[in-house]
Amino acid sequence: MNGVLLTSIFVTAIDEVTVAHLGTSEGRILQVVLQRSSSYTITLANFSLGERLPVLREVSRLGDSLLFVTGNKVSQVSIKGPGCRHFLTCFRCLRVERFMQCGWCGNSCTRREECDASWNQESCSPVLTDFHPRNATLHGNTRVTLCGMSFQSRPRFPAIIDSPVTSGTHRVTVGWRNCTVLPEESLDKWPNPVPHWKEFVDVLVCGLEPKGEQEVLVPTNVVLTITEEIRNPPFYINGSSSCLGFVFVVPTVTSIHPPYGPQAGGTKVSIQGENLLAGSSRKVLINSLACPLIR
């Protein structure tokens, strides 16, 4: 809240949570959770009272509402906050304090009475937004990195010995092939430290099985399926998400230049062909000897 001038404060206990409603010099109300020890402030809501005038110091409570004054205007605000629609993702929606009565309704965060479809406070589905690389060879151990949201209910992958990510909870398929989830490599891909506002940077790494039937040069789906244990508080991840566009290819060498070199080595060899950059890693062998790649 750097650069924000506070002009009023009203603190109250709601259920087991201490909540402060902070008025600002620009006519806004910040609803925040107060904690004894924390490196950041949990802001539940930040909304305008309609006028860019300072919120006066005097605040009154009327039942389940708070009365704020800006200029000659009195605004009545629910003590539970202005609503839930400003929480744009299921992950953010279900992590808010329960007194706000927010739940996920289709593709938006609402209160139960505002939802005409299925409404829940228990689970979110994963959202797969992208993956890399876009292709791989039929044979090999290509590492596929998945990006998206709500890959797990905890803020980040914890220590591997306590990791909730296992073959039983997280499953990835690429076309007809399984892709084994790698928790340690997934952890290495995360920003460190993970920002508290993280909800758009979930990363998961898996290793493609090198064997199995698969069509070549046909775009196929990458599918992430997550089934967390229901007891994970305050909610759990359950469901599937997919992205189309992964292609299996066959690398083909069409020419090598020069076609010879001294036994002592040191010759730079240029290899041309098709699909030579497929997958996540490459290795060149000449007569079973490694030929380091020059980038």
- The pLDDT tens digits for 171-223 are 999 998 999 999 888 776 655 554 444 455 788 999 998 877 778 889 999 99
Q: Strand, helix or coil at 266?
A: coil
pLDDT greater than 80 at residue 70: yes
Same domain, yes or no: 257 and 212: no
Asked if 159 and 67 sit in the same domain, the reply is no
CB neighbourhood size of 53 (10 A): 16
**pLDDT value for 158:** 45
Query: Rounded CA gap, 157 and 155, in Å?
Result: 7
Could you tell me if residue 295 is inside a domain? Answer: no
Q: Are 256 and 245 members of one domain?
A: no
* Helix, strand, or coil (residue 187): helix
Q: What is the pLDDT of residue 234?
A: 77
Q: Are 171 and 234 found together in one domain?
A: yes
Please state the rounded mean pLDDT for residues 46-66. Answer: 92
In a domain, 64, yes or no: yes
The number of folded domains in the chain is 3
Same domain, 43 and 112: yes
Residue 137 reports pLDDT greater than 80: yes
Residue 156 lies in domain: 123-249
At 196 the pLDDT is: 47
279 or 134, greater pLDDT: 134
Percent of the chain with pLDDT over 70: 88
- Do residue 55 and residue 163 come from a single domain? no
For residue 160, what pLDDT band results from cuts at 50, 70 and 90? very low
1 domain-assigned: no
For position 200, what pLDDT does the model report? Answer: 56
CA nearest 291: which of 251, 241, 256?
256
Residues 164 and 97 in one domain: no
Distance CA 65, CA 276 (A): 66
241's enclosing H/E stretch is strand 236-249
Residues 220 and 195 in one domain: yes
Residue carrying structure tokens 């003590």: 79
Dist CA 123 CA 230 (whole Å): 8
How much is the pLDDT for 153?
Answer: 82
The per-residue pLDDT for 282 is 82
Q: What is the pLDDT of residue 159?
A: 43
The predicted-structure confidence for 72-101, as pLDDT tens digits, reads as follows: 999 999 998 888 998 888 988 998 888 899
Check which CATH number belongs to the domain holding 206 and give it.
2.60.40.10
Mean per-residue pLDDT over the chain, rounded: 85
**Percent of the chain with pLDDT strictly greater than 90:** 44
Look at residues 97, 120, 143 and tell me which one is the last residue of a structural domain.
120
Digit-coded pLDDT (tens) for 216-243: 889 999 999 999 877 656 789 999 999 9
Least confident of 66-75, 186-195, 284-293: 186-195
Contact status, residue 120 vs residue 186, Cβ threshold 8 Å: no
Q: Residue 288, CB half-sphere, CA atoms under 13 Å: how many?
A: 0
**Cβ pair 54, 38 in contact under 8 A:** no
Q: In whole angstroms, what is the distance from residue 84 CA to residue 172 CA? A: 32
3-state secondary structure of 208: strand
Does one domain contain both 240 and 256?
A: no
93 shares its domain with 164: no
Q: How far apart are the first and last CA of the chain?
A: 46
* 49, burial (CB in 10 Å: exposed 0-12, middle 13-18, buried 19+): buried
pTM to 2 decimal places: 0.73
pLDDT at 165 over 60: yes
Last residue of a domain, one of 103, 120, 137: 120
CA gap 5, 7 in Å, rounded: 6
Does residue 95 share a domain with residue 164? no
Residue 177 lies in a domain: yes
What is the layout of strands, in order, in the sheet containing 6-14?
6-14, 17-24, 28-33, 42-48
Give the strand pairing for 135-137 and 236-249: parallel
SS3 at position 104: strand
Query: What integer pLDDT is reported at residue 128 of this predicted model?
Result: 94
What is residue 56's DSSP assignment?
P
Q: Amino acid identity of 138?
A: L
d(Cα 256, Cα 267) in Å, to the nearest integer? 12
End position of a domain, from candidates 104, 120, 136: 120
Q: Are residues 69 and 128 in the same domain?
A: no
